[in-house]
Structure 1
């Protein structure tokens, strides 16, 4: 009976210990965290009191385990200041690098940070190596006519081009060249569209809606203005594009009055007409634009609103094949004008910075 009691007591003790174990572990971790927070406070006071030689010994244990990221940044800052005080240049560079790896966007405060610390900070590459992300938006295609062509008299044509809305999606890469200047590029897919209307021969009315799918590669230089959370920018460059396909939905309406009403021959409308042979495969544009970049609106990246205008520099029409599309010419009485395509593009995007802080090569021997 006594043996059975002791066995039950032993089991209850083990179960109770297991139930208390998470609380004990949590309490211990909480105590260590609170202890490291107090350690950091003590380190600040110790530095302010001038007992700088005690700083490394106070911080080392919690730097290995105990500090959160924000506390580590402050701890490495204090450690860097201590190393600079004792002219330990190599150790100062090492602790500064560790600080920047945790917080690559650390901003110097000239009121608080001493000149030696600022000089050391300026010896490191602190700009993002590059940013990458994606973008999408709407575009509006405008036709700039270079030369009119028509099966009717081109001198008296009433041809009208109307803007239609397309879309685009793409990948964005941004390479920093300096604090304010960067190079932006990245492939994108564009769906461009416009509408054409014309009356000819005294009775024909034509509606022509073209859609082009293109792969483009814009390359622009970007200049950013100062701003804390919102940074305006402008950009300027060029864009090359390659035609993937082009087609048009064409409708011809014959307004013959009272003639041929009975036979129903009042118009022509069929499936989309392939225009690939009538369009130049390669084209390029000058690009100018601007927008705003909003920091940390979504995570640690940048939310971007961008507006740019691409001015076409080439004739979009393959003049050699202007008359070769039999369906366009005879069914719809259509001939292409020579024209350029200009596009207004409005995009939203998101980019993530990639940092690789390191000591600049030409600064390694700099005395500070």
Structure 2
């Protein structure tokens, strides 16, 4: 017990001592900044960096104070005609605070120096979530009954979900290359009257690994709300596919067939390719941003395997169902929360130029 009490007292003493020392250093650095600012106003420009060097290395207690100290050093070098030193200090400032921007009231020399640097993010990485809504287009219908029956097939889409990640490489302020692999679910119903005396409803669920590659054009890159459009292509890899059927008969004396899941992955193509378009906007926040956008994918081929349409006897004999040649276009509403990665440097056109 004695050891426990002694340890607590020692910890409290150490905490108090650390806070006292920290407060003393902060106060000392405040005084040094005031003195350095006075030197700057008096024209003693080369003394300013020496005065603030230690406090900048230790770090001021707030971003505003640290930025103000670095800014004062940069201005001192600029007005002393020491451009390389000013560039080095600006680079240090941007590495520490990548989203720093000169204020409107700042000297033109500081703004001109800032414009020499790459200050946009170089890449972003985020988490994606969204909703999917599909549109079916039938190239050719098939069935067990008369063609006049199965050619009137109806597809009813359903809303489903997608989750994934999103990676963007910024080619410039206005152009981005985006890759957003996601796990995507698609669900739809097929309604048809396979025979004169019965109706069939088939509910199909497909799960895909969806990988779109999009070139985006950011229309207004310098605003907080940045609208964009994108075009590209996508690949789908099939993870699973199953179907549930329900058949009802016109005659009351015949029992309806209740739904039961049937695995039909072998009757679906493993890989599909699509053309893709996007429209949306980005909302910038500190070191992060939100993407909210709609994506429309146009299938370049049907999802079923034509040579396996008669391979599943349960579908044919229990439900009178035969695969149609069908393409699925998918409309998705997406939201992404991303972290922005920066790597500031002097722009190539300003290197080796005084």
Q: TM-score if structure 2 supplies the norm length?
A: 0.87
Provide, for residues 244-294 of structure 1, a one-character-per-residue CA deviation record: whole Å limited to 9, x for no partner.
12110111112225xxx2xxx423235311221221211122222222323
User: Is 2:270 aligned against 1:277?
Assistant: no
The answer to whether the Cα contact below 8 Å between 2:303 and 2:326 also exists between their aligned partners in 1 is: yes
Equivalent position of 1:71 in the other structure:
65
Equivalent position of 2:276 in the other structure:
287
Counterpart selection for 2:183 from 185, 189, 209: 189
Secondary structure of 2:282's partner? Answer: strand
Counterpart selection for 1:153 from 146, 157, 166: 146
Equivalent position of 1:35 in the other structure:
28
User: CA–CA distance in 2 between the matches of 1:200 and 1:270?
Assistant: 16
Residues 286, 19 of structure 1: CA spacing in aligned structure 2 closer, same or farther, 3 A cutoff?
A: closer
Residues 19, 122 of structure 1: CA spacing in aligned structure 2 closer, same or farther, 3 A cutoff?
A: closer
Counterpart selection for 1:94 from 78, 88, 111: 88
Equivalent position of 1:232 in the other structure:
227
Equivalent position of 1:4 in the other structure:
none
The answer to whether the Cα contact below 8 Å between 1:131 and 1:351 also exists between their aligned partners in 2 is: yes
User: Is 2:292 aligned against 1:305?
Assistant: yes
Residues 112, 321 of structure 1: CA spacing in aligned structure 2 closer, same or farther, 3 A cutoff?
A: same
User: CA–CA distance in 2 between the matches of 1:62 and 1:152?
Assistant: 86
The answer to whether the Cα contact below 8 Å between 1:32 and 1:66 also exists between their aligned partners in 2 is: no
Equivalent position of 1:328 in the other structure:
315
Instruction: Give me the CA root mean square deviation.
Output: 2.5
Equivalent position of 1:366 in the other structure:
353
User: CA–CA distance in 1 between the matches of 2:259 and 2:81?
Assistant: 83
Provide, for residues 193-217 of structure 1, a one-character-per-residue CA deviation record: whole Å limited to 9, x for no partner.
1111112322111010101111111
Counterpart selection for 2:239 from 244, 265, 275: 244
User: CA–CA distance in 1 between the matches of 2:177 and 2:311?
Assistant: 42
Residues 28, 220 of structure 1: CA spacing in aligned structure 2 closer, same or farther, 3 A cutoff?
A: same
- What's the CA shift for 1:42? 4.3
Provide, for residues 305-346 of structure 1, a one-character-per-residue CA deviation record: whole Å limited to 9, x for no partner.
222121212111211112222111222111122111111112
